[in-house]
Every structure is written in C-alpha cells, then in structure tokens.
Amino acid sequence: MTIANMAAEAPIVSVPFEIERVRADFPVLRQEVHGKPLVYLDNAATMQKPRQVTEAIDHYYRWDNANIHRAVHQLSERATQAYEAARNKVQHFINAAQREEIVFVRGTTEAINLVAQSFGRSRLQAGDEILLSHMEHHSNIVPWQLLCEQTGAVLKVVPIDDSGELLLDEYERYLSPRTRLVAMVHASNVLGTINPAQKIIELAHARGIPVLLDGAQTVPHMPVDVQELGCDFYVFSAHKMVGPTGIGALYGRREWLEAMPPYQGGGDMILSVSFDKTLYSDLPYKFEAGTPHIAGAIGLGAAVDYLEALGMGNVAAYEQELLNYGIEILAQIPGLRFIGTAQEKVGVLSFVLEGVHPHDIGTILDHEGIAIRTGHHCAQPVMERFNIPATARASLAFYNTKAEIDVLAAGIKRVGELLG
C-alpha cells in the first residue's frame, strides 16, 4: 500500500476539542515571523508551552521558591508538596504502579545514561550484547557505546525496511543468549514509525531480557500505559510534551530500580554520611542527587494536567487526522519523496525534494513564517540507511491545523519553483 492510499483509506475523525480555544492557550502562536503568521511545525524538536505551564512555573518562583525535602518552613513545605505532586501526576499519566518508580531527570538523554551507567555497568561483561534498532536517536546510541567501551559489551543493530519499519523477524533472530538489554525507540523522531512495542517486549521477556523504551516521541502524542506495555524502563522529556526544558522522567520497574546502584552522589540522595560509609535514600530519591529542577518538575506536572484535560485519545485521533491530511496534500507536490512510510506513525512528515538541499527548504520556508527542522535530526544512522545527507521534517502537534498544512504545501511548492 502506498502512503497516498493509506491517507485515502484513513477514517475521518472529527476535531475532538475546540482548536481555536486550544491555540489561544499558546501566546507564541499569535506572532508573525518575517511578516507572516507563524506556522510552527517543529514539534518533534520541542513543543510550545501553554500559559497554564508558564503560569505554574511563574507561581512557584513568585510565591513558593524554596529548596525541597530539607526545611520545616512554610515555603519549603509548599515547594516540596508541589514537586511531589508532580511525581504523582507523571505516575498516573503513564500508569506506573507506584510513585517510587518515577525518577526525575534532566530529560530522555540523562534517563538513558542513568540506566546505562547504573543498570548496565553493574551487570554487563565483555561479550554481552545490547540490542538497538537502526532508527535510534543519538541519545539511544552514544550512552550504550560508552558502556561498551567500559565493559567490553557490544552493540547489535536490528535493520529496518525501506518504509522505515523494524524487521521483526530479524529482531527475533538478533535476540541471543548474550543479549542483556533491548533499548529501542517507541516512535522514531525522523520516520515517525511507531514500533510494535508490546511484541518487542514479549519476545525479549520470553528470553528473560529486560527492555527500555525511548518514549520521547510517543508520550506527547498517544496514550502510554507502562503496565500494559510491560516494559522495564520508559524514558521521556517534558519539553516535547508542552512542559519546560531540563526536566524529564525515568520510569523503572521497582525491582530493577531497587537493585541498581546510585547514578550520582550528593545531597538529598542519602540517609546518612560519614567518612567511613554512606547509606542511600529509598526510591526514587537515591537517583536524584543534589537540588533538583524544582520549577521544571512543577511545570511538567502542569503539562500533564493540560494534556489530560485534552485527553490523550483525543490528541492521538486529531493528530492522526492531521497526519493523513498532510500525507495526502504533500504527496501531490512534484519531486517530493517521503522518508518514512510505515503503516503506524506519529505526526512526522520527513521528506526530500528533488534537486533541493533540505537546508535550503528550511531557509525559504522560514521566510514564509514556517518553522520546520532540517538536517540529520540527531539520527545519522537513519540518514545512512536511506543514503541521504538530511531531510526536511514537519512535525505535528494538537494545536496545528489543516490550514497550516496548506501553508506548508504552498511554501514547498514555492521552493520547487525557485530551486527545483
């Protein structure tokens, strides 16, 4: 089935919320760029923030600013309550069984580094294998390479097909007696491919192999239930889900986190310290050394509130309708070729235009007020797989509209007229 046929056969879904009311929550969307109304289509890089999130952060700094877990005064107690309330919100958002299974980190990258250095370094030996896919972001490659250099373990990479789908038969073949961990992206930031996570986990667990999923591109765009998935670790960033930068979460099954040594040492992760011995705090605090990003966690909690008010099922349905429309409209542009045509996708439209470098596409579109991403998207192995240096990528969010996709299509046609 071609991608155009996929769009034609997709069911029509009505808009599940008032789009103009939603857009009013995002002041940044009301500006002009180069004299043109902003069309923001770089959501896979970072999403814009609703006023509810910025107001929550502002309220903390105006009224509750204090360090947490350490003092008995009123401000510290309010700050601690808000910080821990955010942990509860994240727990319920991804349906973790216990709040102790949610560790606040700087983002997806730090969460993966934490698992690599704590879980991996204490368990892997020379010759052990870590299984990745060919569609990984650099953040799910480099931490494992560092671990391999430290332990003598080796990376194994499962190939993908020309549509950007994981080759499940090859994946099963790559699962070996030496495989100690599977670490894969849930949805690709370049291709949009949604991997069959439950099947990946089922096949790994049948062999006693734990699984980490990179959920940076799924948590903002579809319901995620870590208990239903059955994954061992799940990681994501707040800034890709309308929250602030510098904060994210690691979900880990309690039995794994209990068995893992601390990732970093310092204040707030200890029960007692002497020059002879240190006793570490219970979960999740033994992984949160030093003063955390308190305002960031509170902002993440506000982002969760915002998304839950919309309903993640509604978000997924609306973005799927936008994606189908984008595929239909952009497929009509002469010389445009999609990179990533999997059957199951989040709202990512990566493409190349015959005879035009993606950077030139991005520059010309910027002057039309359209913000997209161009380059390798921190996924150079994906570029090598498709034998291209870069792509142009328009990535969608629930506050985008079909009218904005029309503006994008008109802009790409203008690029073709100028440079094609």
What lies within 8 Å, CB to CB, of 217 at 6+ separation is 44, 185, 186, 187, 188, 189, 192, 240, 346, 348
Q: Structure tokens of 110? A: 């730090």
Collapsing DSSP states into helix, strand and coil, what is residue 95?
A: coil
> How distant, in Å, are the alpha carbons of 83, 131, 403, 419 from that of 364?
43, 40, 19, 10
Q: Residue 139: name the closest of 176, 163, 113 by CA.
A: 113
Q: Residue 141: name the closest of 78, 212, 76 by CA.
A: 212
Give the burial string for 19-34 (b: 16+ CB within 10 Å, else e). Answer: beebbebbeebeeeee
Residue tagged active-site, from 19, 157, 378, 383? 378
Cis bond upstream, residue 143 (ω within 30): no
Assess contact for 256 and 210: CB atoms under 8 A.
Answer: yes
Enumerate the β-bridge partners of residue 233. 212, 252
Measured between alpha carbons, how far is 301 from 288 in angstroms, rounded to an integer? 17
Measured between alpha carbons, how far is 319 from 13 in angstroms, rounded to an integer? 10
DSSP result, 344-378: SB-SEEEEEETTB-HHHHHHHHHTTTEE-EEE-TT
Measured between alpha carbons, how far is 392 from 134 in angstroms, rounded to an integer? 19
Measured between alpha carbons, how far is 282 from 286 in angstroms, rounded to an integer? 6
DSSP state of 121: H
Measured between alpha carbons, how far is 77 from 405 in angstroms, rounded to an integer? 47
Measured between alpha carbons, how far is 37 from 90 in angstroms, rounded to an integer? 34
Q: Is 378 a catalytic residue?
A: yes
Measured between alpha carbons, how far is 310 from 313 in angstroms, rounded to an integer? 8
Assess contact for 406 and 329: CB atoms under 8 A.
Answer: yes
Task: Please identify every residue annotated as catalytic.
Answer: 378
